[in-house]
Amino acid sequence: MMQLGMLTACLPQWSLDRIARWAKQAGYEALEVAVWPGTGGRDFEAAHLPVADFGPREVEETLALFDEHGLALSAFAYYENNLHPDPVRREEIRTHLRHAIDAAQALGVPYVGTFVGRDWTKPVADNLAEAERIFPELVDYAGERDVKIIVENCVMEGWHPDGYPGNLAYSPELWEWMFGLGLYLNWDPSHLTWIGIDPVETIAPYIDRIVHAQAKDVELDPVARNRYGFFGKADKGGDPWDMGWWRFRVPGLGQVDWRRVVDRLYEHGFTGTLSVEHEDPVWSGDDERITHGLDFAHRTLRPLIAG
C-alpha cells in the first residue's frame, strides 16, 4: 500500500536520528533521505548520510535507526546536474551518484533520485545526445546493484541563465525519451502545474514508471503572470529562482488537487511512497516554521491515504 513519507532536505541542520524521531511522532511512515556530500550549494539540500564513506558500521547503525523508529527508507535524494558543462564538476556529480547507489545497495534502498540536468551552453538536441551517451552506464551500474535511478520532473529553471528549463525531464515528451534510457520517475505534480500540464492526466499513461512520488504544492498568481509572462521575470534581481508569478507551497496551500492526485494514484495501482518535499517559503526560516509546514502537509494528505 501507499506510504506517506517526507524528504529530509528541508532540515539540513538536524541529524538523521532527530529527523526520524520527529517524523515518527508526526505520523510519517518513510523518509526520503538527502545524501548530498555537504550543504551550501543551494537551498533544500542536506547531507544526512555519508554515502561516500559508507562501511559496515554505517550500514548497521542506519538499519538500526530505521528499525528503532519503525520507518521505511524509501529513496536517496541527490538532485544534481548530470550534464553540467564543467567536466570536473560533472565527474564529481557522477562519482557521488555512484557512491549513493553503492550505499543504497548496502541498505536495500530501491531508488536513488537525481536530475538529468542540462548543459545550458548547448541546445536541447545536443544535450539529449549527451545524456544518451552517459546515462546507460549509470543505469547499468545501478541495475547491477538492484537499484533504480529515479528522476524528478523539476524544471530547474534557475540553472539556466535565462530561466529556461535546466533539467530535461520536465514533460511527458521527455519522460518517454528518458524511459528509453532505463530511468524511472520521481513524479512531482507541482512542476507540471505551473508549466500548464494537468498532473492528474499524466498518472495513468506513465504509472509503470512512477515508482516514487513527491508531494509538493504550487501557488499561482495569474495577475503577476499577466505582467511577466509564462517565462517569468526578465530581471530577477540576482535570484535566478524568482519567476515572479508562482511559488512552492506545502500540500493543501496551493493549486494541486490532492484528492484527485491520490485517488488516481490508487486507481492505477501505485504502491510506492508519496514523499512530502517542503520548499514552502512561508513555512521556512526556522525549525518551528519548517516542522509546522510538515505537520500541515501531513494533516492534508493523511486522510487521503488508506491504512
Unique residue bearing C-alpha cell 498568481:
221
The proportion of the chain whose per-residue pLDDT surpasses 90, expressed as a percent, equals 96
CA 6 – CA 114 distance, rounded (Å): 16
- Per-residue pLDDT band at 154 (split at 50, 70, 90): very high
For the record, the C-alpha cell of 270 comes out as: 501505485
The whole-number pLDDT of residue 44 equals: 76
Instruction: Please write down the long-range contacts of 35-43, taking CB distance under 8 Å and 24 or more positions apart.
Output: 35/76, 35/77, 35/78, 35/100, 35/103, 36/78, 36/80, 36/96, 37/96, 39/12, 42/158, 43/279
CA 39 – CA 153 distance, rounded (Å): 22
For residue 285, the tally of other CB atoms under 10 A from its CB is 9
pLDDT (tens digit per residue) in 8-19: 999 999 999 999
Tell whether the model's pLDDT for residue 79 goes beyond 80: yes
Coil, helix or strand at residue 18: helix
pLDDT (tens digit per residue) in 83-99: 999 999 999 999 999 99
- Domains in the chain, start-ordered, CATH in brackets? 3-304 (3.20.20.150)
Say which residues have a Cβ less than 8 Å from residue 296's Cβ, sequence separation at least 6: 250, 251, 252, 253, 283
Tell whether the model's pLDDT for residue 42 goes beyond 70: no
* Residues found in the chain: 307
Say which residues have a Cβ less than 8 Å from residue 159's Cβ, sequence separation at least 6: 81, 117, 118, 120, 166, 167, 240
The whole-number pLDDT of residue 31 equals: 98
Mean pLDDT of 197-223: 98
